[in-house]
Structure 1
Amino acid sequence: MRSELVFRWGVLILLALIWGSSFILMKIGLVAIPFNELGALRMLLAFFALMPIGIRYWFKIDRKYWKYLLIVGLCGNGIPAFLFAFAQTRINSSLAGMLNSMVPLFTLLFGLLFFDVKSKFVHWTGVVTGLVGAIFLLYRPGIAIDSSSMYGLYVVAATVCYATSVNVIKKYLFELSSTVITSASLIFVGPICGLYLFSTDFPDRISTDHAFVVSFLAVLVLSVFATGLAILIFNMLIKRVSALYASSVTYLIPVIAILWGVSDGEVVSLTQLAGMGGILTGIYLINR
């Protein structure tokens, strides 16, 4: 029992380190690569990294799982990759990391509404508290509602996608291994993103220019570790624990994201910290 507890915490911390660093990596990637190309490149590289595994298992997967793997591919990988990249063209990496903490809130909310998860009053209290915290994160006194901070809504949309994916995996794909889920789901999005990427001017953008090389390497690390390896580990964790517990890795992700952001000169306001506190309080309540 103790070894299992150590394993769970170890995996959560590892995931937090990887995913908490993903926001600063996106920021670096966006220096020389447009957001749409970054999202497509991220999916393509992740697909290449796991392609040998995906192709190996693809023809052994029962067709009844294909529609759920498509949902996981789109909601757990493809759509969020573009939403996060677009959001970070106008918001800083630390704010993106803090907003990402809403995943457990939507995981529970969608579980209650669509996946037959049983609820308690305290769970609903947690959802409301977390949503209020998110409003504080996005609110900036004296700045218009259409300001750059509202690009955080794209991050919120991405967390909705992640929550959908988590619930689908837990309810419909529990018979498949995490390796199969991760690699097979990328088959649905990787090639399409590749075709899109090379329909843009990305091939002409490829160069040995220092800025491009640094941005490309950042996206490469982001793809292999944050999109490939981390999702594989996360899907494995989902199969061993509750979807809610697994999504609680977002307790730790914003801490890493904030540390990276501050080290890069970003400013985190007291209002944002208060909002972050509201979200974490909400996560605590829904885990009770």
Structure 2
Amino acid sequence: MKNPNIKWIYLIILSVIWGSSFILIKKSLLGLSPYQLGAIRTIFTGIILLSVGFYHLKDIPKSKWKWLLISGFLGSFFPAFLFAIAETEIDSAVASILNSLVPLNTIIMGFTIFKIASTRRQILGIIVGFIGTAILILKGSGLNPNQNYLYAGFVITSTLMYAANVNIIKRYLQDVKPLAIAAGNYIFIIIPALIILLFSGFFTSERLNHPNLLQSLGFVAILSVFGTAIAKVVFNKLIQISTPVFASSVTYIMPIIALVWGVLDGESFSIMQGLAAVLILIGVYLSHKRKV
């Protein structure tokens, strides 16, 4: 008999891991450019996933490979670079807050493109959570007027890609093992990442002698092992045992974790943002309910 609470355990684990990823990106940028960060993160993660999941690739039906390719670029490759670029201008907590648009985009894409139904209660949960997210964004812009919010567009673009990826996995890769999905994704994206790294200036003497390089590589290693490799497998499993909306609701709790890290790192935080965080949690609760 399946444990009905297991999806909540996965959700909490992912929230802590991914909520911590934004501060790790910020720290990694101290010694790396955003393109170098995105490339190294992809390469590190690919090595890990392919070393433990290569055996499972033989079990993937041929008809699924095109979806693994699309899923790899939308769910892993492009966001790794887009978030790094965004955090050169906006705080790590703000990036996490903007990432909360994923569940809303998941519902819209699921309904309009992938024909995946959502209940009225789930939609209500997304709306409540989105209101909380909007408050967080507005308060964040007020507390940080010097930040260039045009760079928020990189995060918003990533949320559209994540939403599409969630629906692709749910609709076309439901019967593929989570580890096989993750390893299959990186079969396609690890080579492009290597090419970008070669042309990014990483191997110049200036970069290799950068005083923060080793520290940044350490942060990228942690980000790759936990924030991408382990989390990606757990997330694929969560999508399969729940709904696309519930799985993407992890982005509602992530900002709370990210805000805590941000405060510890000197980023601003207000009481209104705390109240907004409560709204976000209410949205998560409502969005997982199946009854209309």
* Fold match (TM-score > 0.5): yes
Secondary structure at 1:33's aligned position in 2?
coil
Name the counterpart of 1:187.
187
Secondary structure at 2:10's aligned position in 1?
helix
Distance 1:273 1:110, change over 3 A: farther
**Counterparts of residues 82-97 of structure 1 (less than 5 Å):** 82-97=81-96
Distance 1:87 1:26, change over 3 A: same
Name the counterpart of 1:218.
219
Secondary structure at 2:42's aligned position in 1?
helix
Name the counterpart of 2:40.
41
Name the counterpart of 1:11.
10
Name the counterpart of 2:158.
158
Q: Is the 8 A contact 1:109 1:127 kept in 2?
A: no
Name the counterpart of 1:111.
110
Give me the whole-angstrom Cα distance separating, in 2, the residues matched to 1:212 and 1:41: 12
Q: Is the 8 A contact 2:129 2:279 kept in 1?
A: yes
**Number of matched residues?**
286
Name the counterpart of 1:240.
241
Give me the whole-angstrom Cα distance separating, in 1, the residues matched to 2:175 and 2:5: 25
After superposition, what is the alpha-carbon deviation per residue over 1:18-65, rounded to whole angstroms, capped at 9, x for unaligned?
A: 111100000001111111111111111111111224433334422211
**Counterparts of residues 62-77 of structure 1 (less than 5 Å):** 62-77=61-76
Residue 211 of structure 1 aligns with an amino acid whose one-letter code is N
Secondary structure at 1:200's aligned position in 2?
coil
Q: Is the 8 A contact 1:136 1:275 kept in 2?
A: yes
In the alignment, structure 1 residue 259 sits paired with structure 2 residue 260: yes
Name the counterpart of 1:198.
198
Give me the whole-angstrom Cα distance separating, in 2, the residues matched to 1:198 and 1:242: 39
Name the counterpart of 2:51.
52
Give me the whole-angstrom Cα distance separating, in 1, the residues matched to 2:161 and 2:142: 29
After superposition, what is the alpha-carbon deviation per residue over 1:74-107, rounded to whole angstroms, capped at 9, x for unaligned?
A: 1110111111111111110111112222222211
Secondary structure at 1:31's aligned position in 2?
coil
Q: Is the 8 A contact 1:102 1:279 kept in 2?
A: no
Secondary structure at 2:212's aligned position in 1?
helix
Q: CA deviation at 1:272?
A: 5.2
Q: Which runs of 5+ in 1 are unaligned?
A: none
Secondary structure at 2:101's aligned position in 1?
helix
Q: CA deviation at 1:237?
A: 1.8
Secondary structure at 2:106's aligned position in 1?
helix
Query: CA RMSD, aligned part only?
Result: 2.6
Q: CA deviation at 1:112?
A: 1.0
Q: Is the 8 A contact 2:129 2:252 kept in 1?
A: no
After superposition, what is the alpha-carbon deviation per residue over 1:184-215, rounded to whole angstroms, capped at 9, x for unaligned?
A: 11111111111111122111255365411111
Q: CA deviation at 1:119?
A: 3.6
Q: CA deviation at 1:228?
A: 0.6
Q: Is the 8 A contact 1:15 1:249 kept in 2?
A: yes
Give me the whole-angstrom Cα distance separating, in 2, the residues matched to 1:93 and 1:44: 22
Sequence identity of aligned pairs in percent? 36
Q: Is the 8 A contact 2:35 2:84 kept in 1?
A: yes
Distance 1:181 1:103, change over 3 A: same
Name the counterpart of 1:30.
29
Secondary structure at 1:4's aligned position in 2?
coil
Give me the whole-angstrom Cα distance separating, in 2, the residues matched to 1:151 and 1:281: 29
Q: CA deviation at 1:236?
A: 1.5
Distance 1:277 1:113, change over 3 A: farther
Give me the whole-angstrom Cα distance separating, in 1, the residues matched to 2:143 and 2:258: 26
Give me the whole-angstrom Cα distance separating, in 1, the residues matched to 2:255 and 2:133: 13
Q: CA deviation at 1:248?
A: 2.0
Give me the whole-angstrom Cα distance separating, in 2, the residues matched to 1:11 and 1:221: 19
Q: Is the 8 A contact 1:138 1:149 kept in 2?
A: no
Q: CA deviation at 1:284?
A: 4.5
Structure 1, 277-286 or 16-25: larger mean CA deviation: 277-286
Give me the whole-angstrom Cα distance separating, in 2, the residues matched to 1:188 and 1:270: 44
